[in-house]
Structure 1
Amino acid sequence: MLKNYSSLGKTQWQTLLWIFLLCHRLSAEVLRKKTHFIAGKQEVLSLLAPPLGNGMEFIWEWKPHDSNQNVTQIAAIGWSDGHLSMTITNPSFRRKNYFDISMDQYFENAGVYSFKKIKPASLLLAQFEVFAFKVTPYRWPEVPLGSDVSRSCGVSHLPESATLQWEKEGDPTDNTTLRYNNTAHLIIHNAGPNNQGKYSCVVRGKNGEHLFSVYNEVKVAEVTYRASHTVYRQSSNSSEVILTCRCKDGMYKKATWYWTPLSGTTKIRVASAERPDKILIGKDKERFSAAGFNGKEFPLRITPVQFGDSGTYECNLDKVTFGSITVLNVQVSVEPPGSVSRNQPVVLTCEVSKVTGSLTLAWMRMEERRGFFVQQTVLTEGQPDRKLNVTLHSLSKEQLHWECVVFTDSLLRVRLPLHLTPSAPSGNGQLTLIIMPCVAVVLVGMLMLVGMVFYYKRRPVPAPVASPSTGNDKQSQSDVIYSNIMQLCEDERALETPPEEDKYEIHYSSFSLGSTSPGAVRKQNNYRPDSINECLKQQSDTVVYSSLNVT
């Protein structure tokens, strides 16, 4: 046998070694896959176990994406002498083939699935992460022309740094999307032909790469015949609502919009038109307007929308009803109004004009494009209180951007942004900001002055010039410093009268710091007043004597 092995060449040995190492590496690697499904889809998802190595007992484990649940065992498998036995311990799962399992596509079944060998040694063989999408509504019927389209998409788990967003034909719809937790809401107001197309709910990675997505299509009806729907609009100075009325052909001669207020039952004509281009506005001509009627369509525009504009609007072409639209308005307010102080309590109020059925009213704190629920309430029809208040005891930087949102049947109906503006510091605060630097400058100046006085007080006095005949020029004469007035007088007697051009103004100063000691007083009294007066009489009027005492 050894002879036979030795007959193998070097190349054959290298090939066998390479195959052995490759098989060992493949057996040691863990099979890892990621997949996804749409919750509610009537299909079965299967997880296939990898090819088995040596082993006697195996298990399937499941860690739900719900962080509140722990890892649980869902299947136990025994393999002995070619006989297989599998025990399912969770009714949500079923055996498929051999070591494989299958499950219904329920949102709750998302999570991480692990296939392990536990005997004779514990070893992870495969791991699958299953993501579940939940799209509401599950089916997308054709929507009425001019109505609001609302869709929501939730995912069971978002990988780290991943984002969830709605896209139309590959382009983001940021201005119509609200994101919170792992859910993205899409809202399209006054749907028309331009809003039709493919909408995808997409999970993208940190660098924008595509990870998973599900999609559906929005289809909009061409006419408003017999259409009836409800829209929610914000009541503010910049809001508007467009009511659509359209037929298939242009055979009609007259169009009329009627309004029934929430508080009444009588129809009020707000706009009418007759061909050719005869338009009559019967209510608030500054806010209500209508385009020309061409026998086919007659849209009504209201801007700005007021809270009292709520009610049912009906469009008639000749005597045929071509649409009934209920407009419900929502308004937000802040107390105190205007800019608010950071240390002053602030009350945010959101109010809806009417509740039909039930709805959820919520305040959300916004951070960039994401929202965080702060407070919400469920309102029912006939409930007298249709408001939701949030009180902020102090205003921080993270509490400046808010939105009041309305949900019906878990679908977003309207968003009302509210941005708070902190007030500027009060007048006293501004005065303090001005005074404090000035006080600091004054104190620094006083300290510098005291330092200079102290320096010059301790400075030694230069020796007086003996005689002008020793070669001193004008500059040297001007540099003479006298420590006292008597010395000045003696030098004046010794000097001859200088030329007229050599006259200059001389200032003498004496500084005294601290309290005057008795010895100092006696020393000052030794001066001879008569001699001083006589000397002063001989000085020019330009000579100035000053004395500064700082006690």
Structure 2
Amino acid sequence: MARWAYHSKACESRPILADSVSPGMSCPSDVALEFESKVAFIILLRSLNDICFLHREGNFVLNGPDNPGNGPIVWEWRPHSEQQTTKQLGTFHSEDQRWTVKWSDEYNNIPDISQSIHEEQGTLNLRFRNLTFELAGLFTWSQAQPNKIILKQYEVFGIKVEIDSQWPVVGSDITLSCTISRLPDTVSLHWKQKDPFQQNRRKNIEEIHLNNTAYLIVRHIGAENQNLYTWKVQEKNSIVLTGSTNVDVIRDLYNVEYTLYRASTNHSELELICEASFDLNKAKWKWRSRYFQTEKEIIASLSKFQPINVNRTYFGNRLVQTQIRFNGKNFNLRIVPVQFEDAGVYKCLLGIYKYVTIKLITVKVTAEPSDAVSEGDIVTLTCSVSDVTEPMRLVWISSDGETVVEKTLKDQNQGEDLLQLIIPKADRNRRNWTCVLFHQNTPKIFIPYDLKVHNPYTSKYDIIFGCLALLLIIILAVALCVYKYKIRGLGNQKPRHQEPQENIANGPPIYSNINEMQQMQGHNMPRTSSFDEYAIINGKAIENDTNKDDLHYGSISFQKKAPGIFVHF
């Protein structure tokens, strides 16, 4: 059984989620609070005229308008639930400086309203007592004549905390929920497990947010954790309302049956917990497959103080024993990871007594194509259930929390049932999808799927740039090889000396140094007054002396130019 405790932060001397509340403000004068034996159940949300209450708990008074005039004044209610249609609940009239109310047929025809809301005698104030979650909404006092004018308005938010099983047995799953009647953009709901040993054990809780509700799925409750859970209503970074839930667990598993839901993923686990209150000599676990045509197969057995015999024919190393020897009371096993074909019925026998019977329903998500796709491709996501024995509901939810497609499953005994989501154009900005399985409107399991989408244009450019880079590397390698080959070839070549050739133009060697020429001709060099004269005389001297020596000279002509001298060959 779940036991509840709550704590309100309405009257603390600090601002509470207030866009319009100043620091140090306490409870406003137009909201009167009454305290129960344990807690106060009314808090402020965002402004002075936003109220929050817990389902069927707490008492409060909403004060009417300060300057109502002479009336008449209409009191209206627009609920958060249903179609949010406005309902006129009553009309106030002023008589001898006192106000009287005439209730409408809608007020009288809704028992929750007529039993929970009453006027304070002679005033415009309204007293709320044990208000139900369904009555949350917008409450308005308006001037009726000559024109309708809103005089005062409150928005009242309802909070409901629930558990899907009031008496869970050890090893079973439970789902806790915290729902707000309307979820403003700045308000959020949260669950947390209060367990001082949480860091020393495997995580067995999952939180999911759908619409206006925060769900906490607790797997194998009572197996390894203290069953105390905390919920809170929060706006931005401030806690408005918080409470705790302590779940009592039944530990007697004699002749107990329950159903577990598991996802076929790499991290999914199944705990097979079997405990007795007295010593027994023998124990065994049997399994009847949902898919294989076999009798109840013994997957593990043992005798007291003897090693456990594990049948690994089907489960292999996925079937793990959590103890070495049987102590006569506890016989627990673990299957990890859980596969889709593990669905079926698991039964524990201690001695000759039938103890716990667990029905396992598995869920899996597949994609076609299964590999990464390009943007714009068609993708089909399939969420499959191994068995449907009672009404269930499969839902595909987008990354922004919207329900895209859903399907109600009925007990048809036709094997696997499924729900497909066809994505006509894969988009990298919308690639996170979640399949949720509901049982009696309570989520039992959710499987997130991350669609792998790549940009086709980016991939094409990557290929082009890759090819260009490879081509550049090849060109550089070839150029380097050619360069090394040329260097090596030049190093192997020997210098060649050019032999003097005879009878080249029948002329003497060519000299560019006049001193060198003078040394070679010796006393035959005539004295001249200028370089031009020497060039002419020398030519004649060589011509007259050609028969004397075998040495031949070529002729050089020089031309004088200012300011320098250029030599022409």
TM-score of the superposed pair, with normalisation by structure 1: 0.66
Look up the match of 1:97: 120
Contact 2:163 2:174 survives alignment (8 Å): no
Q: Find the residue that maps to 1:399 and give its secondary structure.
A: coil
Structure 2 residue corresponding to 1:109, chosen from 126, 135, 146 = 135
The more displaced of 64-73 and 116-125 is: 116-125
Counterpart-to-counterpart distance in 2, 1:334 and 1:152 = 30
Q: How far did 1:161 drift?
A: 1.6
Contact 2:30 2:62 survives alignment (8 Å): no
Q: Find the residue that maps to 1:397 and give its secondary structure.
A: coil
Counterpart-to-counterpart distance in 1, 2:171 and 2:514 = 108
Using a 3 Å threshold, how does the CA distance of structure 1 residues 327 and 100 change in structure 2: closer, same or farther? same
Name the aligned partner's letter for residue 93 of structure 2. Answer: G
Look up the match of 2:156: 130
More helix by share: 1
Contact 2:177 2:214 survives alignment (8 Å): yes
Counterpart-to-counterpart distance in 1, 2:515 and 2:431 = 82
Contact 2:170 2:251 survives alignment (8 Å): yes
Q: How far did 1:78 drift?
A: 0.7
Counterpart-to-counterpart distance in 1, 2:52 and 2:230 = 14
Counterpart-to-counterpart distance in 1, 2:364 and 2:183 = 34
Counterpart-to-counterpart distance in 2, 1:191 and 1:239 = 16
2:193 counterpart of 1:168: yes
Counterpart-to-counterpart distance in 1, 2:367 and 2:356 = 36
2:317 counterpart of 1:286: yes
Name the aligned partner's letter for residue 357 of structure 2. Answer: S
Name the aligned partner's letter for residue 185 of structure 1. Answer: Y
2:171 counterpart of 1:142: no
Structure 2 residue corresponding to 1:276, chosen from 305, 308, 313 = 305
Counterpart-to-counterpart distance in 1, 2:469 and 2:287 = 65
Deviations 1:230-289 (A, max 9, x none): 00111234332111111224x112110011222557321110111213211123342223
Structure 2 residue corresponding to 1:202, chosen from 226, 232, 251 = 232
Structure 2 residue corresponding to 1:88, chosen from 85, 99, 103 = 103
Contact 2:74 2:90 survives alignment (8 Å): yes
Q: How far did 1:150 drift?
A: 1.0
2:270 counterpart of 1:255: no
Q: How far did 1:144 drift?
A: 0.7
Q: How far did 1:229 drift?
A: 0.6
Counterpart-to-counterpart distance in 2, 1:366 and 1:381 = 30
Using a 3 Å threshold, how does the CA distance of structure 1 residues 317 and 169 change in structure 2: closer, same or farther? same
Look up the match of 2:380: 347
Using a 3 Å threshold, how does the CA distance of structure 1 residues 83 and 236 change in structure 2: closer, same or farther? closer
Structure 2 residue corresponding to 1:432, chosen from 456, 464, 484 = 464
Q: How far did 1:192 drift?
A: 1.7
Name the aligned partner's letter for residue 37 of structure 1. Answer: F
The more displaced of 230-239 and 62-71 is: 62-71
2:251 counterpart of 1:228: no
Q: How far did 1:175 drift?
A: 5.8
Deviations 1:491-547 (A, max 9, x none): xxx9957999xxxxxxxxxxxxxxxxxxxxxxxxxxxxxxxxxxxxxxxxxxxxxxx
Look up the match of 1:218: 247
Contact 2:178 2:231 survives alignment (8 Å): yes
Counterpart-to-counterpart distance in 2, 1:136 and 1:410 = 12
Deviations 1:460-507 (A, max 9, x none): xxxxxxxxxxxxxxxxxxxxxxxxxxxxxxxxxx9957999xxxxxxx
Counterpart-to-counterpart distance in 2, 1:421 and 1:141 = 41
| Correspondence list, 1:145-544, <5 A | 145-169=170-194, 176-192=206-222, 194-206=224-236, 208-249=237-278, 251-263=279-291, 266-284=295-313, 285-290=316-321, 291=323, 292-366=325-399, 371-382=401-412, 384=414, 386-423=417-454, 429-434=461-466, 496=512
Using a 3 Å threshold, how does the CA distance of structure 1 residues 498 and 270 change in structure 2: closer, same or farther? farther
Q: How far did 1:436 drift?
A: 7.3
Q: How far did 1:111 drift?
A: 1.1
Using a 3 Å threshold, how does the CA distance of structure 1 residues 266 and 402 change in structure 2: closer, same or farther? same
Q: How far did 1:133 drift?
A: 2.1
Contact 1:196 1:219 survives alignment (8 Å): no
Name the aligned partner's letter for residue 294 of structure 1. Answer: N
Deviations 1:294-352 (A, max 9, x none): 11211111122222211111111111122110111111111111222223211111111
Counterpart-to-counterpart distance in 2, 1:222 and 1:245 = 10
Contact 2:204 2:220 survives alignment (8 Å): no
Q: How far did 1:432 drift?
A: 2.3
Q: How far did 1:46 drift?
A: 5.4
Using a 3 Å threshold, how does the CA distance of structure 1 residues 432 and 245 change in structure 2: closer, same or farther? same
| Percent of matched pairs sharing the same residue | 27
